[in-house]
Each structure stands twice: as structure tokens, then as C-alpha cells.
Amino acid sequence: MVSVTRIPVLAGNWKMFKTLPETVAYLQEFKILVQYAEGCEIVIAAPFPALAAAADTVRGSRIRIAAQSLHWETEGAFTGEVSAAMLASAGCSDVIIGHSERRQLFGETDETVNRRLLAALAAGLRPIVCVGETLDQREANETKDVLLSQIDGAFASLTSDSASPIIVAYEPVWAIGTGRTATPEIAEEAHRILRGRIREILGAVTADNVRILYGGSVKPANIQSLMSKPEIDGALVGGASLDPVSMAAIIHYQS
């Protein structure tokens, strides 16, 4: 068996928080706090209006800037939408796709997740694809089926070549913003299911290399136990990413 080293990814998802000046002030402080952090990738997903300034502020550092969604068309009469090329030209390298808030509040489906994923890849953006079950689904023992169908839907028509940059985030809906973190064991089990399916669809090399992040009430106090599981390759952090000191503490989880 070949052992694989997956570089951890620690990503903050700010959701609909922070104006442009707040973004710049945060990143000026944050880039100093994490300047010596090694052995991991750092991503901050800021709101659309702050992306270009965010990218400017972190230029020359290792911090990557992500958007929180995109539209699948390249351009056109789609009022309120933003294309992959627009994000790339603003300095984004990554984009979150299919967050449960988009699925629950804005009608995102596995099919639209797939379309956005293909558009991101075509423009050279690295997708962070979110999946995860609701509390009802977990209590009805449907977690495995839900995760498998979300992966099948998101990855439809992908090839292993095109899939290589993709990051997956397992975010159980019941753990988001609730303070109720999944135990490392629950997260690990879900990650195993996801990686197993990716292996079936895209082969062992892609499955072994894809980073699967955990998201849902990640904090400085619980990151270490989550990261102790070999299946957990990083975290997608909501609330605790809004404060630069707390996000930096998550990034320095090993020290």
C-alpha cells in the first residue's frame, strides 16, 4: 500500500459577514498572525464585494482567497449572479460550492452543484464542494445514502483528470452554527464513506489525494481532536473564522 500525504486545508467561510474595510483590516492582522504557519493551506472565503481587495491585501502571503458561490454560465442576462471568470479576475483561487445554506435557502440542488463545479474547474478555480446530512436524515439512518447521492450528483460527468484539484467539505447540517460539533469518530466515518465513493467513481489515486474537510462548529478547542483522525484533512470554519485571532489559533492547532 502506498501511503499518501494530504496537506491539510484550513478554510474560513465568512458567509454574509464583513464589509470591505472590515475585510482589509482582518486580513492585515491575520496575515501577520499566520505568516509562519507551515504545513497547511489557508483559505478565506469572503463576500463578493470584498474579494478583489482581499486578494490585494494577501498578495505575497500564502493565504488563498475563495468566493462562496458562482454561476455556471460564462456571462449573460443573469441579474445578481457572478461567473467563474469574474471571480478569477478578482484574484480568487478557490470557490465554495453547494454549501447547505445555499441548498436550504436558495434552491441549490445536486444538479446545480454539478454545473457550478464544472464551470469552476473550466475557469481554473479550485472547488470546495460541500455535502452533509440534516438532523432528520441522520435520525432516519439516511446519512450514508444522502452522502452518496450528493457525491454522485456533484461529480456527474467528471473525469479523474479534471477532478484532481477538488476539495470536499463534509458539513453535517445539524452541526453548523449550533455549537454541536460532530465527534471526530462521526466525522471520520462520514469521510470514509465519501472517500470510498470517490474511489468507486474516480479511482484510487484521486480518492487518496482528495482533501476532505470537516465543517460544523469547529473552534480552537476542538480542532486538534478532529485533526487527529487521518481521514480528516482540514476544516471549513464558519463562526470561529470571523475573528482573526481565533482563526489563527485553528491554523496553529499543532503548536
Count of residues engaged in binding ligand 13P, rule: CB under 6 A: 14
Nearer to ligand 13P by C-beta: 202 or 238?
Answer: 238
Residues 6+ apart with CB under 8 A from 156: 110, 111, 114
Catalytic member of 99, 101, 133, 188: 99
Per-residue contact string for residues 79-118; x = within reach of ligand 13P by CB under 6 A: --------------------x-------------------
Helices (H) and strands (E) in the chain, counts: 12, 8
The whole-angstrom separation of Cα 21 and Cα 23 is: 5
Catalytic member of 101, 108, 133, 171: 171
**Cα 94 to the chain's mean position, in Å?**
9
How long, in residues, is the chain?
255
CA 59-44-148 angle, 5° bins: 135
Report 199-218 residues binding ligand 13P (CB under 6 A): 215-218
Report if residue 176 touches ligand 13P, rule: CB under 6 A.
yes
Among 227, 236, 248, 250, binds ligand 13P (CB under 6 A): 236
Comparing every residue's Cβ against ligand 13P, the nearest one is 238
Among 98, 184, 239, 244, binds ligand 13P (CB under 6 A): 239
The whole-angstrom separation of Cα 132 and Cα 151 is: 10
Let me know if 252 is a catalytic residue: no
Report if residue 171 touches ligand 13P, rule: CB under 6 A.
yes
Residues 6+ apart with CB under 8 A from 87: 51, 67, 70, 95, 123, 125
User: Which of the residues are catalytic?
Assistant: 99, 171
Residues within the interface to ligand 13P (CB under 6 A): 13, 99, 171, 176-177, 215-218, 236-240
